[in-house]
Every structure is written in C-alpha cells, then in structure tokens.
Amino acid sequence: MTNKLFKYDGLQERDAIAAYLEAVRDGFAHGTVTLRQGEQVLELLPKGLIAVTIEGKQKGEDRKLKLTFRWKERECELIDAPLLIAPGDAGDA
C-alpha cells in the first residue's frame, strides 16, 4: 500500500468553506471523497465504521475548529468456512 499525503493551507471566504464542507458531505454520502489541487490528487473511499473527532479551541483572538475522520480502507476477506458456535461440555468447566 502506498503512503500519500494531501495538504492544503490557505485563506478562504466563509462561503467557500461552506461549499467545501458540502462537497465532503456529498463525498461521504456517495462513498468517494476526492481532494485535488493542480497535479496533486488524493481519492479517499470512506466505508465501514468511521471514527470522528471534533475539536474546537479559543486562545485570545484566535479560533480553531478541527474535524478528523479516520477509517481503514481494506478489502473484505471472504471466509469460506461457516462460523460454528457450540456450548462446551458441562464437565469442561
């Protein structure tokens, strides 16, 4: 598996941020979030359980809002044998 990092730092108007958040929402709803700036592209495929962290911070005049989403992108391994669960023998305890 390849490691890739996409990072953007910049100043945007509030309306642009709202549009980015809508695009992230739509990407989660459709199962693909694509980040692109120039030649830099990172496609993320959110699925399964997703860990969510939300942090807000005030320090003097500075404000910070941090949203983090984490998940594992892995193929489901199919197991051919069925799962069997049986009670143990009462003498085994």
Which residues, at least 6 apart from 31, have a Cβ–Cβ distance to it below 8 Å? Answer: 45, 46, 47
Q: Is the separation of the CB atoms in 47 and 71 below 8 Å? A: yes
Q: What is the average pLDDT across 23-51?
A: 95
Tokens standing for residue 70: 């984490």
Domain positions in the chain = 14-70
Instruction: Name every residue whose Cβ is closer than 8 Å to that of residue 56 and which is 6 or more positions away in sequence.
Output: 63, 64, 65, 66
- Position 76 scores a pLDDT of 58
pLDDT for 71 beyond 80: yes
Distance CA 68, CA 51 (A): 8
Q: Are strands 62-70 and 33-37 parallel, antiparallel or unpaired?
A: unpaired
Q: Is the pLDDT of residue 91 over 70?
A: no
Instruction: Look over the chain and give the mean of its residue pLDDT values, rounded to a whole number.
Output: 89
User: pLDDT at position 10, please?
Assistant: 94
pLDDT over 70 at 86, yes or no = yes
Q: Which residues of 76-90 are buried (b: 16+ CB within 10 A; e: fewer)?
A: eeeeeeeeeeeeeee
Name the residue type at position 73.
E
pLDDT at 62: 97
